[in-house]
A and B are shown apart, each in its own frame.
Chain A
C-alpha cells in the first residue's frame, strides 16, 4: 500500500532542483514548477490520506525504507519514511496549506526580481518539512530539521540588499541553532543508550531501558525540549520570531502555519515515549507553554506593526500547544496545530494583501476604514481573527482551544493555575486580535490604499516602481485571483475545520482523537472531572470578554487608551511589552556584548600563533619536498632504491 509515498516529499525537492538548475526560465514556467510541485504533492497527500484511512482493519503504520545510507556493523541509518496518523495529519496540513501559500505567492511576488529564487527556496522549505515529518529515524528527521532552519535563513533574508534583513535572518538561524545543538546532543544520548535512532524502536525500547523518572530519561527529554523550544520559538528562545517578519509575507505565513515553528510541537508529540518517562520535563513543557502564551500575548497587545502582532500571536498560540503537550494531551495539541495552521496562514496572507494595498505600510495606526475598500480581505481576515480569538461554537479555533483548556483541568498533570493562565491568555488573544481588526478595518481612513497603477508609473506592467531612497520591493498594484482564492479557501477551513473533533456535550464527533489515539497516548484523567459545559462557558465568555474589551477600548472609547498611555507605570509596562519583555536587551547584554568584547580583546591571541605555525610549517615542508621534485631521472631512480632500502630495513629489523 502507498508505495508511492516517497513521491510526496520528492516533488517539492525536485521542484527546488529544477528551479535552481534551470536559470532564466520565464515566470509562468517558474510558477508552474513552484506551485505545481507543491500542488501535486498536496493532491497526493490527500489521496494517501484517503487510501490510508479507508483501508480495512486496524490502523497500522506504514514503513517504507528507501535505502540504507552507510551500512555499518552497528549503525544503519536508513532513508526511510514512516506514515502513521500523526505524520499523516502533519503531511496533509503542511502540503495543503503550503499549496495555497504558494499559489498566493505567484500574485504577491509577481513583480519581484528574485521570482525563481523565491520559489526554489519555498519548495525546498516544504520538501525539508516533509522529510522532517515523514522520517522514520531521528537522523533523517534532523536532516529535515536543519533543512527547515536553512530555508528560514534564506527566506527571512530574501531581500538581502537591506542589511537589517540579513541580520534578522542570521538572528533566526543562530538562535534556533542553540536549540539545534541541544537536539543534536539529545540524539547522541539516545543513540548511546538505544544503539539506534529509529523512532519506533526507541519508543518500543524506552520503557525497558529507562525507569520512569530516571535521570537519563529526564536529560534526554530536556535536550529534545531544547531543540523544540528553539524551532517553535518558545521561552527562552522566542526572540527570533518577531524579527523573522523581515521576509516576504508569504514566507511568514509558511513559517508560522505549515513549517518550521510547528516542528517543535511535532518533535515532542513524536517522541512522546521519552516524555512519558520524564514527567518533570512534561511539567516544564506545560509551564513554558503557559508563560510563553501570556508573555507573547501581552507583547502582541502593544505592537503597531501588523506582522509583528501576528508573530507574537503565533508564539502565544504555540504556547497553547506546548501547554497541551505538557499536560499529556497530545491530540489536543495536534488539533490546535491544525486549526492554527489554517487561520494563521489566512491571517498572514490577508495581512499581505493589506500591506500590498497600503503599499508596504505595516503600521496599523496608519490604516483604518479598510473594510469598505477591501471587502473580501476584510471578510476573510475577520474569519481568521474570529477563529484566533476563539469565538464560541462557530469557529475552529474555539474547539481546539477549548479542548486544550478542558484537558488542562481534566488531566492529572494539569492544574487550575495552568488553566487560569490559558484563560487569561484567551482574553488577551481576543483583545489583541480585535484591536487589530478594529484599528485596521474600522475608524477613519488615515491613508489611502493604493489603487491601480496610479501615479507610480509602470502601470503597463502591473508593477509598482522602486522608491528612490528606501530599497522597497516592487509590488503588484492589483490583487489577482491567485491571491484571493487562497484567502477564501483558508477562510472556509478556519471556520469549519473544527468539525473533526467536537466537545462531547455538543455532538459525538471524535474523528481526530480516534485517529491520533493509535499513536498518541491520551492524557490520564482526574477522578473528579470538571463539568464540560462549565468550562466551555467560561472559555467562551473569556473570548467574548476580550472582543468586547477591544471594542470598548478601540472603537467606543479610543481616548481611554491614549489616557492610559500617559500614566507613568503603565507607560513603562507598555514599553516593556512592546520590546518583547526585554529579552533582546537581556541577551545582548548577557551573551552578545561579552562575546563581542572577548572576540575583540582576543583578536591577536597567542593561540592563533599555534595555528599560524602549522600553516607556516606546512609551507616550509612543501618547499622542502618540492626541492625533491628535480625532474632528473637519475634522482628518481635513486628514490626507488631508497624505497627498497627503507623497506628491506624495516622488514629485517622487525
Chain B
C-alpha cells in the first residue's frame, strides 16, 4: 500500500480506527459524554477528509482490487458519515435519561457507517459481503439496543434472522456470478459479460439473488415486509440510521451493479431493467398504500421510505435500459431523503420524553399549539418527504422524474406521479393532526399521567437535539433552493 492509497482510504480509516479506539477506551473508563463527543469528532473528521480525497483514488494500486474509491463512492460517503453524525447527535439526548448503558451505541454507529462506506465503494465480491455484514451485524445489535423493551428485542431478532437469510442469498448469488464469469471483481465482470459467453441460468440467478439482497436492504417490495417492524421496534435514532446510512450504502452498490450489467448481453440488460422496473413500481404502490391509514408514526415513516426507494429506482432504470446514466439524480435523491428522514426521526426524538417515544400519530395532535417550532420543523420534513417545492425532497423527486421523462420511461414516471398523489394524503394527514386543536379536556384526563398532553412538553434538556434539527432545516432549505451538489461530476 502506498501513501496515496492510505490517503484515499482516509475517511474510512478514520471511522474504523475511531470505533476501535472508542471500544478500547470504554474498557478503561465508561462515559456517555465522552463516547458521544468522540464519535461526533471522528465522523466530523471523516467528513472533512472527503474533500481532501476528492475526486478519488489514483488509477493504480492494490487497493483497486477491492475498493473503487471514485467520486461516486466519496459522494455517498458524505451522505453516510453525515447521517451517522446526525444519529450520534440525536442519540446523546435520547439515551441520556434511559437506564441502558449507551456507550456501545456509538461504537456500533461508527461500525455500521464504516460498513455502509465499504459497501458504497465495494468493487470486489469480498468487500461487498464484508461491508454488508459489518452493516447488518451492527444494525441488529442497534435495533435491539433498548433491552428494557420487548419490542426492541423483537426488532433485533427479526432483523438478525432476515439479514442472515438475505446474506445467504447474496453469497449464493455471488458464487453463481463467479461460476459464470470467473471473476470476483465487480468491474471485472464487464469483460466476461462483454466477451459474449452465452448467458446461462446461473448468471441470471446470480444477478437476481444479488438484487434480492440489495432490495432487502433498501426495503424494496416484496422484500420490504421487515421494515415497519424494525423501524417501530428500534430506538428512534436507530430507525433514522436504518433509513439513511444503510439505504445510502445499498443504493450506491445497486447503481454500481446496474452500471456493470449495462455491458452484458441484451438478455441481461433487459432482465435487469424489467426486474428493477417491477421492484420500483411495486415498492411505490406498496409503500404508499400501506402508509395510507397507518396510525404509528414510525411505521408510517418506514412505509414512506419503501415508496421513496421505489421513486429513486426510477433514476437507476435508464442505466439498466442502456441509456445515459443519471447518477446525479440518484445521489441527490438519496441526499434529500437522508436529510428529510433524519429530520423526521429527529422530531420523534424531540417529541419523546421519559423514555416513552411519541410513536402514535395521536401523540402529535395539537403539537403546533404546544411546541410551535417543533411542529414547524416536523411539517417541513413531512413536506420534503411529500416533495413540496422549496424543500430538498422536491428537487430530488424533480430530478428523478426529469431523468425518467428524458429517457421516455413513461410507465414508472406516471406511477411516480400517481404515488406522489397517494403519498400526499398521509403526509397531510399527519400535518393536519399537528395543527388540530385539542378538544377541551375533561378534568379526569389531567389526572392520568400518560395522557398525550402530559407528554410533549417543551424540555430544556433537548438543546442538542433542537440544534441538530435546526441544522437539518437549514440543509433542507439550502438543498431545496441551491442544488449545487446536484452537478457534482460522478
Contact for A71 among B165, B228, B483, CB less than 8 A = B483
Contacting pair A631 B229 (CB below 8 A): yes
**Chain A residue contacts of B165, Cβ below 8 A:** 637, 640
List residues of chain A with CB within 8 A of the CB of B272: 651
A654: chain B residues at CB < 8 Å are 267, 270-271, 274
* Contact (A648, B226) CB under 8 Å given A70-B483, A622-B289, A633-B161: no
Given contacts A628-B225, A640-B166, A647-B211, contact A72 B204 (CB under 8 A): no
Checking A67, A629, A640 against B290 with a beta-carbon cut-off of 8 angstroms, the contacting residue is A629
Interface flag for B487 (CB, 8 Å):
yes
Chain A residues with CB under 8 Å of B212's CB are 640, 643-644, 647
Interface of B is mostly: helix
A646 to B205 alpha-carbon distance, docked (Å): 11
Judge if B467 is at the interface, Cβ distance under 8 Å.
no
- State the CA gap A642–B195 with chains docked (Å): 32
Contact flags (1/0) for B124-152 with A, using CB distance below 8 Å?
00000000000000000000000000000
Q: A643-B215, A654-B271 are in contact. Are A633 and B208 (CB under 8 A)?
A: no
A636–B290 touching, CB < 8 Å: no
The answer to whether B422 touches A644 (Cβ under 8 A) is no
Instruction: Considering the complex, give the chain A residue whose CB is closest to the CB of B290.
Output: A625
Instruction: Determine whether the beta carbon of A648 is less than 8 Å from that of B481.
Output: no
Q: Which of B186-220 contact A (CB under 8 A)?
A: 201, 204-205, 207-209, 211-212, 215-216, 220
Query: What 1/0 mask marks residues of chain B from 258 to 280 whose CB sits below 8 Å from any chain A CB?
Result: 00000000011011101100110
Which B residues lie within 8 Å of A639 (CB)? Answer: 222-225
Contacts of A625 in B (CB 8 A): 286, 289-290
B361 in the interface (beta carbon within 8 A): no
Are A619 and B292 in contact, with the CB atoms below 8 A? yes
How far does the alpha carbon of A621 sit from the alpha carbon of B422 in the complex, in Å? 12
B 469-488 to A, binary, CB cutoff 8 A, 1 in contact else 0: 00000000000011110110
* B483 lies within 8 A of A642 (CB): no
Contact flag A67-B289 (CB < 8 Å), given A643-B215, A651-B204, A651-B275 = no
Option from A67, A626, A644 in Cβ contact (under 8 Å) with B208: A644
Please report the C-alpha to C-alpha distance between residue A652 and residue B278 in the assembled complex, in whole angstroms: 14
Cβ of A626: which chain B residues have Cβ within 8 Å of it? 290
**Does residue B398 face the partner (Cβ distance < 8 Å to A)?**
yes
Chain B residues near A71 (CB, 8 Å)?
A: 483, 486-487
Interface membership of A635, Cβ < 8 A: yes
As a 0/1 sequence over residues 79 to 121 of chain B, the CB contacts with chain A under 8 angstroms (1 = contact) are 0000000000000000000000000000000000000000000
| Also in contact, A643 and B292, with CB within 8 A (given A70-B398, A654-B267) | no
Q: Name A452-474 residues within 8 Å CB distance of B.
A: none
Asked if B169 CB lies within 8 Å of chain A CBs, one says yes
Q: In whole angstroms, how far apart are the Cα atoms of A265 and B161 in the complex? A: 70
Taking CB as reference atom, which chain B residue is nearest A66?
A: B482
Within 8 A of B (CB), among A590-628: 618-619, 621-622, 625-626, 628
CA A612 to CA B487, docked complex, whole Å: 43
Which of the residues B166, B169, B278, B286 comes within 8 Å of A646, measured between beta carbons?
B278
* Chain A positions 51 through 75: 1 when the CB is less than 8 Å from some CB of chain B, otherwise 0: 0000000000000000101111000
Give the shortest distance, in Å, between A643 (CB) and chain B (any CB).
4
The closest CB in chain A to the CB of B273 belongs to: A654
Question: Does the CB pair A622–B162 fall under 8 Å?
Answer: no
A residues contacting the other copy or chain, number (CB 8 A): 30
Q: Is A650 an interface residue (CB 8 A)?
A: yes
When C-beta atoms are compared, the residue in chain B nearest to A72 turns out to be B402
- What is the CB-to-nearest-CB distance from B484 to chain A, in angstroms, rounded to a whole number? 8
Q: Which residue of A lies closest to B293 (CB)?
A: A622
- B284 CB within 8 Å of chain A: no
CA distance A70 to B275 in the complex (A): 31
Check A622/B290 contact, CB under 8 A, given A71-B487, A643-B223, A651-B271: yes
Contact of A69 among B158, B285, B481 (CB under 8 A): B481
Q: Which residue of A lies closest to B272 (CB)?
A: A651
**Number of A-B residue pairs with CB-CB distance less than 8 Å in the complex they form:** 102
* Nearest neighbor of B278 in chain A, beta-carbon distance: A650
Which of chain A's residues have a CB closer than 8 A to the CB of B383?
none
Whole-angstrom CA separation of A647 from B483 in the bound complex: 35
Instruction: Assess whether A652 is in contact with B226, with CB atoms less than 8 Å apart.
Output: no
Residues of B within 8 A of A69 (CB): 481-483
Whether A621 pairs with B481 at a CB distance below 8 angstroms is no
Task: Evaluate contact between A650 and B222: CB separation under 8 angstroms.
Answer: no
Q: Is B395's CB within 8 Å of the partner chain A?
A: yes
| Cα distance A72–B405 in the bound complex, in angstroms | 13
Contact with A along B386-423 (1 / 0, CB 8 A): 00000000010010001000000000000000000010
Q: B162 near A648 (CB under 8 angstroms)?
A: no
A184 CB to closest chain B CB (Å) equals: 16
Q: Which residues of A contact B486 (CB under 8 A)?
A: 71
CB proximity of B55 to chain A, nearest CB, Å: 20
Q: Is the CB of B290 within 8 A of A650?
A: no
Residues 35-90 of A at the B interface (beta carbon under 8 Å): 67, 69-72
A637 CB contacts on chain B under 8 angstroms: 161-162, 165
Q: Complex formed: what's the CA distance from A618 to B421 in Å?
A: 12
B137 to chain A, nearest CB (A): 18
In the bound complex, how far is the Cα of B203 from the Cα of A647, in angstroms?
12
Point out which of A631, A637, A646, A651 has the most chain B C-beta atoms below 10 A from its C-beta.
Answer: A651
B162 to chain A: closest residue by CB: A636
Q: B287-310 interface mask toward A, CB cutoff 8 Å, 1 = contact, 0 = none?
A: 001101100000000000000000
Who on chain A is nearest to B425 by CB?
A618
**B209 near A644 (CB under 8 angstroms)?**
yes
Cα separation A618 to B314 with both chains bound (whole Å): 23
The one of B169, B209, B270, B292 that contacts A618, using a Cβ cutoff of 8 Å: B292
Bound complex: CA A644 to CA B169 (Å) = 9
A620 to chain B, nearest CB (A): 9
Residues in A neighbouring B157, C-beta threshold 8 A = 633
Shortest Cβ gap from B29 to chain A (Å): 39
Contact yes or no, B158 A636, CB < 8 A: yes
- The answer to whether B482 touches A67 (Cβ under 8 A) is yes
Question: Using Cβ atoms and an 8 Å threshold, which residues of chain A touch B395?
Answer: 70
Chain A residues whose CB sits within 8 angstroms of the CB of B402 once the complex forms: 72
User: Nearest CB to that of B169 among chain A residues?
Assistant: A644
B162 touches A647 (CB 8 A): no
- Which B residues touch A618, using CB under 8 A? 289, 292, 422
Bound CA span A640–B279, Å: 13
Q: In the complex, A225→B292 CA distance in Å?
A: 45
- Nearest neighbor of A648 in chain B, beta-carbon distance: B208
Decide: B222 and A643 in contact? CB cutoff 8 A. Answer: yes
Known: A637-B162, A642-B222, A643-B212. A629 touches B228 (CB 8 A): yes
A652-B201 in contact (CB<8A): yes
The answer for the CA separation of A614 and B161 in the assembled complex, in Å, is 38
With both chains docked as a complex, state the minimum distance between the C-beta of B435 and any C-beta of chain A, in angstroms.
16
Q: A640-B216, A647-B212, A651-B208 are in contact. Are A629 and B225 (CB under 8 A)?
A: yes
Q: Are B293 and A619 in contact, CB atoms less than 8 angstroms apart?
A: yes
Docked CA distance A633–B157 (Å): 9
Chosen A-B contacts, 22 in total, with CB atoms closer than 8 Å, are: A69-B483, A70-B395, A71-B486, A618-B292, A622-B290, A622-B293, A628-B225, A636-B225, A640-B166, A640-B216, A640-B223, A643-B216, A643-B222, A643-B223, A644-B169, A646-B278, A647-B279, A650-B208, A650-B278, A651-B204, A651-B272, A654-B270
Q: A71-B483, A640-B216 are in contact. List 15 more A-B contacts (CB 8 A).
A: A69-B482, A70-B395, A621-B289, A633-B162, A636-B162, A637-B161, A639-B222, A640-B165, A640-B212, A642-B222, A644-B208, A647-B211, A647-B275, A650-B274, A651-B205
Q: Which residues of A pack against B, CB within 8 Å? A: 67, 69-72, 618-619, 621-622, 625-626, 628-629, 631, 633, 635-637, 639-640, 642-644, 646-648, 650-652, 654
Across chains A and B, which 3 residue pairs bring their CB atoms closest together, nearest first?
A651-B271, A647-B208, A651-B204
Residue numbers of B with Cβ under 8 A of A are: 157-158, 161-162, 165-166, 169, 201, 204-205, 207-209, 211-212, 215-216, 220, 222-226, 228-229, 267-268, 270-272, 274-275, 278-279, 285-286, 289-290, 292-293, 395, 398, 402, 422, 481-484, 486-487
